[in-house]
Amino acid sequence: MTNQRVPMFPRDGAGSFKLPSTKEGAIQRMVHLGDFMEVYTPEESFKIQTPESVDPARTNANTMWVVAKVADVGSTSPIIARTIIQAHDILRDRMVLKDDARITIHKLMLKIKNNLLQCEIAQNIYLESERKAENLFSSTDQPANEKAYKNFPVIQSIDEKITNFLIPARRVVTDVLQVPGFFWNLKKQHSTLENLINKELIPLLGKDHRMVNFFTSIVPDISRIVNFRNGQEHINTTKGTPLVIRNFFLLPTNEVHVPIWNLKNEQPTSIVDELPIMLNNLLIFAETMLIACIDSNLPDFPPMLMQQIETPKPLCPVRYELVIDASKFQLHTNES
């Protein structure tokens, strides 16, 4: 009885292709994500699928590769470097997570990265809209005898622009809260950081553990993002406190006030000031959750150390790396 060999197809032969790049820059990382991979140059991101992943049943002898640009940002983006690339770099030695778990968490970090990029796009669109409205108004001559300002500033579809930020922001929080489940057997998935800390991390690590202390310190920042999204999504229901958004408005002094937002009965803040703060808080939240989980689950041997990179490289500014902890090794010498 002879073994049947899988027939060789033209798609199985050697070949080459170029990335559809429009910018200069060498490949910085290739991250395997199961049935596809993402490739990052300094300013662009690409998705690659092999014929085998497109047609695993091998129904077409000439199935082609998929090579497509998916983003005009690449490894120089702190969002990309500090989420998916950093996860790839730290977990590639397989000492913390095995292959199946590594690919699954890579896919989760990919979702987090993509939603953070959506937040960044929405933030930039909003910031540019406010800047343009202000510039038009400030450059308009206002005759002294007029009873109304010309080109009074307004942001078109301001609620929609805020929604485009808050929806992916809320998704980031939801996905980041899943990360500890890869490292511990949790009782359940949690929808708030506070519940994750109180019901899982404190029983596992103790209330004085540095991971518990850090995430406790950022509960107000992360809860604020969640509450803002809930306040907008459930504005016509009894769930949550409504989010109040005000466009440019005129004060009794005839001064023009910038757009503000707040949960009802709370102090308003400038939208243009707070959006970058929220985005940075989300990035820190995503990055630190993975780093802290890995750091709390390092193997006894070989002894490993999670350390911060003093000077991140501009082409790929990852901030943490996993290295051998040389201080844990005891070197023995022959005594004369």
pLDDT tens-place string over residues 240-274: 789 999 999 999 999 999 999 999 889 999 999 99
- The angle that helices 99-138 and 158-176 make with each other, rounded to 10 degrees, is 160
Looking at the structure, tell me whether residues 130 and 35 fall in a common domain.
Answer: no
- Of the listed ranges 126-130, 279-283, 298-302, 303-307, the least confidently predicted one is 298-302
Q: Which residue has better confidence, 327 or 33?
A: 33
Residue 12 within any structural domain of the chain: no
Looking at the structure, tell me whether residues 37 and 178 fall in a common domain.
Answer: no
Residue 98 within any structural domain of the chain: yes
- Compute the distance between CA of residue 30 and CA of residue 324 in angstroms, rounded to an integer: 24
The total number of residues shown for the chain amounts to 336
Looking at the structure, tell me whether residues 206 and 298 fall in a common domain.
Answer: yes
Residue 146 within any structural domain of the chain: no
Residue 222 within any structural domain of the chain: yes
Looking at the structure, tell me whether residues 70 and 105 fall in a common domain.
Answer: no
Q: What is the pLDDT of residue 336?
A: 44
Residue 16 within any structural domain of the chain: no
- Of the listed ranges 70-84, 221-235, 293-307, the least confidently predicted one is 293-307
Looking at the structure, tell me whether residues 105 and 243 fall in a common domain.
Answer: yes
Q: Which residue has better confidence, 65 or 313?
A: 313
Looking at the structure, tell me whether residues 71 and 192 fall in a common domain.
Answer: no
Looking at the structure, tell me whether residues 41 and 96 fall in a common domain.
Answer: no
Q: What would the mean pLDDT of 174-186 be, rounded to a whole number?
A: 95
- Compute the distance between CA of residue 45 and CA of residue 29 in angstroms, rounded to an integer: 10
Residue 11 within any structural domain of the chain: no
- Of the listed ranges 36-40, 65-69, 238-242, 273-277, the least confidently predicted one is 238-242
Q: What is the pLDDT of residue 235?
A: 66
Residue 3 within any structural domain of the chain: no
Sequence letter at residue 62: N
What pTM was estimated for this model as a whole? Answer: 0.90
Count Cβ neighbours within 10 Å for each residue of 201-213 and write b for 16 or more, e otherwise.
Answer: beebbeeeeebbe
* Mean of all residue pLDDT scores within the chain: 90
Looking at the structure, tell me whether residues 83 and 67 fall in a common domain.
Answer: no
Q: What is the pLDDT of residue 325?
A: 74
Looking at the structure, tell me whether residues 243 and 269 fall in a common domain.
Answer: yes
Strands 37-40 and 45-49: antiparallel
Looking at the structure, tell me whether residues 249 and 172 fall in a common domain.
Answer: yes
Number of domains in the chain: 2
Looking at the structure, tell me whether residues 68 and 93 fall in a common domain.
Answer: no
Residue 37 within any structural domain of the chain: yes
Q: What would the mean pLDDT of 151-156 be, rounded to a whole number?
A: 96
Handedness of CA 92, 98, 104, 105 (dihedral sign): negative
Model confidence at 6, pLDDT cuts 50, 70, 90, reads low
Looking at the structure, tell me whether residues 225 and 299 fall in a common domain.
Answer: yes
- Percentage, residues of the chain above pLDDT 90: 71
What range defines the domain where residue 70 resides? Answer: 25-56+63-75
